[in-house]
Every structure is written in C-alpha cells, then in structure tokens.
C-alpha cells in the first residue's frame, strides 16, 4: 500500500485526536507495525488496518464511519497535492470517470509495483450512473467518502443513493438531487 495513504491517514488522525494520542496509539502497537512511514514508501495493508482499527476503538467510532470520514478529507488533500488530475474535469462524474480511465493508469506508470483499485463509472439505458469499486483491500468506505467529497468538490448535483456489495466489489448508484 502506498505510503502517502499512511502519512495522510496519520495527519487525519492527528486532526481528529491529538498528536500525543496518535503517538500513544502507535506505541501501543509496537511490534505489530513499523511505526515510521514516508509518503513514497510501500507498506503492508495489515499495518494500515491495525492503525485504523486502533484509532476507531480509541475514538469509539465505527471503523467504516471513520474510513468514510478519512475518504472525505483525502479528496481535498489529493486536490492540493495533485492539482493536474483535477484540471479539465467539468463535473464530479467527469472526474470519477477519469479516475478509472486515466488517473490510476498514471499511478501505475509512476509506481509499477502499485495495485490501485479498479474504478469504473458507467451509465445504463435509464441514465442511472453506477460507480464500481473493486480492490483487493477492503477500503470501500474510503472510496465512498472520496466519491461523496468529489461530488461536493465539483458542485455536482448527484449523490450516492444506494450502495451494494456483490461479487467482491462495491457498486454506488449515483442519482441526481
């Protein structure tokens, strides 16, 4: 898993808890996690999961709710760190389509050892948009938060009306408000 997700997550954790609480939490996981992360490193998803579950427990939050909150914050961080990916997108739907078609392909070029999730936006004959998220990591709640924040970022009139998990992938049905 790319180190940028670790560093952004730890910044997120420090924003909703305190630096001291996060340090204590990481110390409590001594021996189970590396504990020192860089944005350009590559780390085990199991370490991320241990940190996330420990933070959710510490804050008495549901892990999926906390992951969704992280996804919502992460979108604005991606906009700051990678503004070129956002240029030219006319709407949230346009950007979400680019994630699957171009952005994750660029990530693979930059980091050949990466394995970003498959993200595909399609519309059916009735004009309903479906965003499919498939990953070997269980981060659909982060994807949901990213999607919600993306639609808000672009002032897109769509929202997630339904979420379905089937065949190892999550499908978000997007409807117009």
For position 99, what pLDDT does the model report? Answer: 93
pLDDT per position as a tens digit, 62-111: 999 999 999 999 999 999 999 999 999 999 999 999 998 888 888 888 88
The model scores a pTM over 0.85: yes
pLDDT at 168 over 90: no
For position 10, what pLDDT does the model report? Answer: 97
Q: Locate 132 and state its tokens.
A: 């499919």
pLDDT per position as a tens digit, 127-144: 789 999 999 999 999 999
Q: Locate 33 and state its tokens.
A: 């996690």
pLDDT per position as a tens digit, 78-92: 999 999 999 999 999
For position 137, what pLDDT does the model report? Answer: 94
């Amino acid at each position: 898993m790319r180190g940028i997700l670790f560093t952004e997550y730890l910044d997120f954790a420090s924003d909703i808890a305190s630096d001291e609480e996060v340090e204590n939490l990481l110390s409590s996981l001594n021996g189970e996690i590396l504990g020192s992360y860089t944005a350009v490193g590559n780390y085990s998803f199991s370490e991320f999961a241990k940190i996330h579950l420990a933070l959710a427990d510490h804050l008495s939050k549901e892990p999926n709710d906390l992951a969704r909150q992280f996804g919502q914050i992460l979108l604005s961080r991606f906009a700051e760190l990678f503004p070129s990916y956002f240029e030219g997108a006319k709407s949230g739907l346009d950007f979400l389509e680019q994630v699957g078609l171009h952005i994750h392909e660029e990530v693979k070029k930059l980091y050949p050892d990466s394995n970003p999730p498959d993200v595909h936006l399609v519309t059916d004959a009735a004009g309903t948009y479906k965003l499919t998220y498939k990953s070997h990591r269980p981060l659909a709640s982060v994807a949901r938060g990213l999607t919600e924040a993306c639609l808000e970022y672009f002032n897109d009139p769509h929202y997630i009306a339904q979420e379905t998990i089937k065949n190892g992938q999550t499908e978000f049905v997007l409807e117009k408000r």
